[in-house]
Amino acid sequence: MYSNEKKVAPHSPYYIYTPSAMAKRLFFYPTAIGHFRYLPGYCQKRSCYDSFLYLFVEEGTFRLVLNESTYHVPAGGIVLLNCYEPHEYGSDEGCKILWLHFDGPLAGDYYEQITSVHGNILHPSGFPSLHCRLRDLMQKFADENILPEEEMSLQIAKLLLPLLRPEAPKEADSNTSNAAIRKTLNYILSHFQQELSLKELAAMANLSSYHFLRVFRSEVGMTPHQYIIKTRISTASYLLTTTSHTVSDISYEVGFKDESSFCRTFRQRTGMTPLAFRANTTGLS
C-alpha cells in the first residue's frame, strides 16, 4: 500500500498488520511499518494513536514536538515515541524515515526504561545494524513473506534491547562481570529443572556469593532464585498451552518437588491455577 497523506511523497509504502490474540498476550508485535519521504511542511498531530513508534531518520531533519518542547533530529537519529499520549511530529525541510508502530505487553515497560534514562531521541553506536534489521523486517512485508509472530517479536526485541544501553560499557571490570552473568544465565536456562545453589552459580562466575548476588540483581533485576522460579513458571505455562501433559507431570518436568508447591507458586505468579491457565489459553493462535 502507498500513502495518500498530504505532504508525503507518492509511492511511500506502508503495511498494516493485525496480530493474533496470542501475540497480543505474549509478544511484541507490529501494527504498521513503512518507509516515507516527508515533503517540506509535513505535520502529524494526534491526541492518541494506540501504539509505540520507533523510527530512523535516514535523510534530512525530523521535527518532534513533545511536552511543549521542539526537537530537531538529524539523519542518523532514532526516535522512540509513546503514541498513546499527545504528540506532534513532521519536517520543515523534508526528510526520509523508516518507521515501525508496535505494541505488546512489555512495550510500555521498555519505553519507560529507555526514555527515562536516555530520552526520546537516541544516537546509538549500532545505528547501521539496527537500521538494517528494521529494513529487513519491512522487506518481509513487501515480499509477502511475513515472519511468524514469535520471530517478529524477537526482531522487535532486538531493535529495543540495544537502546537500553546505547553505548557499550567501557570498564573492563564491568565487561567481565557482564560476561560472567551471561554465562550463568545460559547455564540456568539449560539446567533450571535441577537444584541450583547460589554458591554453585557464584563459583561458575568466579565471584564470591555476595558479589555475584549483587551483580546478578543489578544486571537481571531479580535474584538468581527468583530468575529460576520465573523460568520454571514460564516453561510450565508453555507446556500447559502446547501439550496434554498432566499438571503433576509438568510440575516435575520444570523442577518442582511436588505438585502442591508447583500449583501454589504458579497461582502466586499468574493469578490463576494451572488448569485455569490451560483453559484460558489453549487454542490461541
CATH of the domain at 54: 2.60.120.280
CA–CA gap between residue 39 and residue 42 (Å, rounded): 6
Task: Say if residue 205 is in the same domain as residue 237.
Answer: no
Do residues 156 and 80 make contact, with C-beta atoms less than 8 angstroms apart? Answer: no
8 belongs to a structural domain: no
Q: What are phi and psi of 143, to 5 degrees?
A: -85, 5
216 belongs to a structural domain: yes
Task: Say if residue 150 is in the same domain as residue 270.
Answer: no
Task: Say if residue 51 is in the same domain as residue 135.
Answer: yes
- Mean pLDDT calculated for residue range 141-154: 91
Q: Which domain holds residue 133?
A: 14-164
Task: Say if residue 182 is in the same domain as residue 159.
Answer: no
Selection from 42, 34, 29, 26 nearest residue 3 by Cα: 34
Q: Is 139 buried (19+), middle (13-18) or exposed (0-12) by CB count in 10 A?
A: exposed
Task: Tell me the per-residue pLDDT of 73-117, one tens digit each, with 9 for 90 and over.
Answer: 999 899 999 999 999 999 999 999 999 999 999 999 999 999 988
262 belongs to a structural domain: yes
Total of domains in the chain: 3
Sole residue written with cell 504498521? 32
Task: Say if residue 196 is in the same domain as residue 60.
Answer: no
Task: Tell me the per-residue pLDDT of 34-75, one tens digit each, with 9 for 90 and over.
Answer: 999 999 999 999 888 899 999 999 999 999 998 888 999 999
Taking all residues of the chain, what is their mean pLDDT, rounded to a whole number? Answer: 88
Task: Say if residue 194 is in the same domain as residue 77.
Answer: no
CA–CA gap between residue 156 and residue 105 (Å, rounded): 13
Task: Say if residue 24 is in the same domain as residue 155.
Answer: yes
155 belongs to a structural domain: yes
CA–CA gap between residue 269 and residue 181 (Å, rounded): 24
